[in-house]
Amino acid sequence: MFLIVALLFACGFSNTSFSQPSFNEGSFRNMTAKERYRFVHDYPFWKVYDVKKLSTILTQMVGIAVEKKDYHSELALKYYTSLVSGKVGFKIPKGKNANDVLIEMQKIATQQGYEVEDVVAFCYLTNNLYLGQKLSKEQYYVDVQHCFEQLQRVGFEKFKDYNVAGLLFNFGKCLWDLGDLDKAYQYLSIAERFIEPTVEGGFHYTQVLNYLQTYWQKKKDYNKAIFYAKKILVYHQNLQVEELEQKFWNRFWLNFSALDIASLLIEQGKIKEGEFYANKGYQLIKTQFSLDSIVSMQAEFDVLMVLIPIKLKLGKTHEVNTLLERATTIKNNLSPKGLLDYFKPLKLYKYSSEYQEEQGNFATALHYTHLAQKLQDSLNLRNDAQKLSQMQLRYEVEKYAGHLKMIENEKQLQKYLRNAVLVILLLVVGFAYVNLRRLHHKHRQKEKELANAQYDLNSLTQHFRKMSDLAENLRHENEKLITNDNQNEYLEQLISSTILTDEDWTNFKVMFEKVHPGYIQVQKEKYPDLTNAETRLLMLEKLDLSAQEMANMIGVNKNTIHQTRLRLRRKTNDRV
């Protein structure tokens, strides 16, 4: 049934002759970018049946958008160019095809940061490649789910201008064909939010509702299924169309929605109500359904296969005979030419057998039963084969998707590991840098401390030397005073006292250790029996002081220094 619908829809809109929508190049040029973008999406390109005129309009629009650097409008025009490229006689400039246009669209959208158009281009390109058999079912299945995730991430509402309902319908149908009905329902139920009961949106409006109806029918939730079937019926009852082929398409759905409602009511045991809708459908079929008589007879046969069992259950055998004869006539006309599905007569044989049995014609009833059983066995084999094929396809698809997922996970893991290594290296480098800075700081601190200590020691040594010179001068002055018997008692006391106190020596030792760290300790370890006087002498000699300077500093005479040196020489056996 879906194939017939698609053919009717294609015929219904291929020869439209609406009044041509107007386009003014100057007005389009003078619009703001926002107005231009809205104008593109509101322009009814599908009503321009003259492909040359349509090509000219699109070329003019694209030229202005490029001139104005209006990338948003340019992207929208590329989208519509790819859609109308399927019209007979329509040619895209420079020998490009729809896929080339979508690739350009995605490239520009990526460069300019238009996320919605980027996703749109990828989704439509994916669908085109699959329909053109340039994409395997496995890869299409994976890409479909990726597209859905992208649409969901950005927000379905943002794709209204790009027929998001049509995209979701195509993706849902893909999953439906693979037997993944629940996931297909998820896609189709979202598409339901965006379908519009208009002439231009009628195809997807009808198809989405019909698939949702079929989904609930398979789930045996007949009330929900009837709800969708009635929505289709109401839409086509209110649809105002002028063209003959559109009227046929409209009548087709008026008939089949009524037929579906009848079938669903019968499943609920509402036979009488079901008869009303079946009769309604059959009356529509008996009018000229299509310019193609074959299509009309195929549709009438389908209606009869619903109407006949209703009449049988209601006991209206006088009507059943007429309906069976009409169905048999259609079968005899179409089946030999291969124009009727091979298994469609199955129901006809079953109903014929039931009717003949009620009439007491048991031999004829048995004949139809045998015919029905033969077809049923063949149908079961085909269905089993189809289920097996479908299961195999789903297995291959899911296996392929799992393989891609594993590869993606490995890439992601490698990325995480690479990033982790980089982070660790950065942390190590950072730590090393901080530690190096800290060491440099400590080194500079020690150098500064050492320089300060050296300065302090030098200053103290210089001070000691000045004090020594002062003491020497005082002694000379004292010797002069002795001869005059006028010795200054105060000077005598100063000369006889020590220059350095214990506190002075302690401070001196601290500064000396900073300048010559470990020197005193090494000497004591080397010569354990050193006296304090000998230790002090070693420290003063380290500063290159003269014997007199040392004597002055520690408050002794020069001979004491010489004696201390002699004792030290005996201990160390070293020339001091």
Tracing tokens 């214990």 back to the chain, one arrives at 502
Q: Number of helices (H) and strands (E) in the chain: give both, helices first.
A: 24, 0
Tracing tokens 């599908």 back to the chain, one arrives at 46
Kindly calculate the radius of gyration of the chain based on its CA atoms and give it in whole angstroms. 53
Lowest mean pLDDT segment, chosen from 35-39, 130-134, 246-250, 265-269: 246-250
Which of 87-96, 185-194, 462-471, 481-490 holds the top average pLDDT? 185-194
> How many CA atoms, within 13 angstroms, populate the side-chain half-sphere of residue 371?
19
Q: How far apart are CA 231 and CA 213, in angstroms?
A: 10
Q: How far apart are CA 291 and CA 288, in angstroms?
A: 8
Please say whether the beta carbons of 187 and 172 come within 8 A. Answer: yes
pLDDT of residue 287: 63
Average pLDDT, stretch 192-215?
Answer: 93
DSSP 8-class letter at 95: G
Q: What is the pLDDT of residues 336-378, one digit of tens each?
A: 988 888 888 999 999 999 999 999 999 999 999 999 999 888 8
Lowest mean pLDDT segment, chosen from 188-197, 224-233, 352-361, 377-386: 377-386
| Nearest alpha-carbon partner for 67 in 120, 114, 107, 25 | 25
H or E element, residue 314: none
Please say whether the beta carbons of 86 and 124 come within 8 A. Answer: no
Lowest mean pLDDT segment, chosen from 182-196, 304-318, 504-518: 504-518
Q: How far apart are CA 270 and CA 390, in angstroms?
A: 34
155-161-166-170 Cα dihedral, nearest 10 degrees: -60
Amino acid identity, position 289: F
pLDDT of residue 511: 80
pLDDT of residue 404: 58
Average pLDDT, stretch 113-130?
Answer: 94
Q: How far apart are CA 84 and CA 92, in angstroms?
A: 10
Distance of CA 380 to the CA centre of its chain: 44
Q: What is the pLDDT of residues 402-416, one digit of tens each?
A: 665 676 667 676 777
Residue 384 reports pLDDT greater than 80: no
Structure tokens at 154: 């950005």
For residue 99, with 0-12 CB atoms within 10 Å meaning exposed, 13-18 middle and 19 or more buried, which class applies? middle
SS (H, E, C) 127-178: HHHHHCCCCCHHHHHHHHHHHHHHHHHHCHHHHHHHCHHHHHHHHHHHHHHC
**Is the torsion defined by CA of 560, 562, 567, 572 positive or negative?**
positive
Q: What is the pLDDT of residues 311-333, one digit of tens each?
A: 888 888 888 999 999 999 999 99
Structure tokens at 24: 């003014």
Q: How far apart are CA 561 and CA 574, in angstroms?
A: 16
Total number of residues shown for the chain: 576
Q: How far apart are CA 59 and CA 278, in angstroms?
A: 50
For residue 1, with 0-12 CB atoms within 10 Å meaning exposed, 13-18 middle and 19 or more buried, which class applies? middle
Spatial neighbors of 342 by CB under 8 A, at least 6 apart, are: 375, 378
pLDDT of residue 325: 93
Q: What is the pLDDT of residues 87-115, one digit of tens each?
A: 778 888 788 899 999 999 999 999 999 99
Q: How far apart are CA 73 and CA 109, in angstroms?
A: 11
For residue 451, with 0-12 CB atoms within 10 Å meaning exposed, 13-18 middle and 19 or more buried, which class applies? exposed
537-542-544-548 Cα dihedral, nearest 10 degrees: -10
Report helix, strand or coil for 557: coil
CA max distance for the chain: 178
Report helix, strand or coil for 91: coil
Cα 392-133-403 angle, rounded to 5 deg: 45
44-50-51-54 Cα dihedral, nearest 10 degrees: -40
| Nearest alpha-carbon partner for 501 in 467, 527, 546 | 467
**Using 50, 70 and 90 to split pLDDT, how confident is the model at 576?**
very low
Report helix, strand or coil for 70: coil
More confident residue, 449 or 496: 449
In 3-state terms, the chain is what percent helix, strand and coil (to 5)?
A: 80, 0, 20
Other CB atoms within 10 Å distance of the CB of residue 125: 22
Average pLDDT, stretch 514-543?
Answer: 84
Q: How far apart are CA 161 and CA 39, in angstroms?
A: 11
Mean per-residue pLDDT of the chain: 82
Report helix, strand or coil for 497: coil
H or E element, residue 333: helix 317-334
pLDDT of residue 92: 85
Average pLDDT, stretch 141-145?
Answer: 88
517-520-526-529 Cα dihedral, nearest 10 degrees: -170
Residue 183 reports pLDDT greater than 70: yes
